[in-house]
Amino acid sequence: MAVSIYGVANATNIEASPASESSYYYHIVAVAATSVGRVRVFGVANATNIEASPASQSSYYYHIVAVSATSVDSVRVYGVASTTNIEASSASKSSDYYHNIVAVAATSVGRVRVFGVANATNIEASPASESSDYYHIVAVAATISAVLLASSRQWA
């Protein structure tokens, strides 16, 4: 019986100038993957909410993270897609944003698997709102079961 646990942590912090006085709160990304025998279950939850003061009156909407996982014998492919869209009020009109999509790579050689996640988000606002932002990168941790480690030792 093999047990594998995978974790992803993601934190985003968006700060605005006193002019816009926007506030925010962020709900953490959580990824859980459990493996018992050849049955694997993956889950991802992500919620982001950004609120702004009446002064800037910005609105937002967020598209949820989607994860797909396929398993055929020892070959596993994982995918993550995430899109974020933040719109500003007519007061700032000229604000723009761009979002770099989440990319997940999974390679499988025998029973050894390597997973990678990359995510970058950049949100720029017009001079009217003068908001600034910074983004903390996704960190991925993977714990591989004793069976996977034993397999890698046999190849050495």
Q: Give this prediction's pTM.
A: 0.23
What dihedral angle (degrees, nearest 10) is formed by the CA atoms of 82, 27, 44, 103?
30
Query: Do residues 33 and 40 lie in contact, with contact meaning Cβ atoms separated by under 8 Å?
Result: yes
Buried b (16+ CB within 10 A) or exposed e, 99-135: beebebebebeebebebebebebebebeebbebebeb
Q: How far apart are CA 71 and CA 28, in angstroms?
A: 27
Residue range 120-144: average pLDDT?
36
Q: What is the mean pLDDT of the chain?
A: 41
pLDDT (0 to 100) of residue 53: 37
Residue-wise pLDDT tens digits, 61-114: 333 333 444 444 444 444 444 444 333 333 333 334 333 333 334 444 455 554
Report pLDDT digits (tens) over 7-55: 444 444 344 333 333 333 333 334 444 444 544 444 444 434 333 333 3
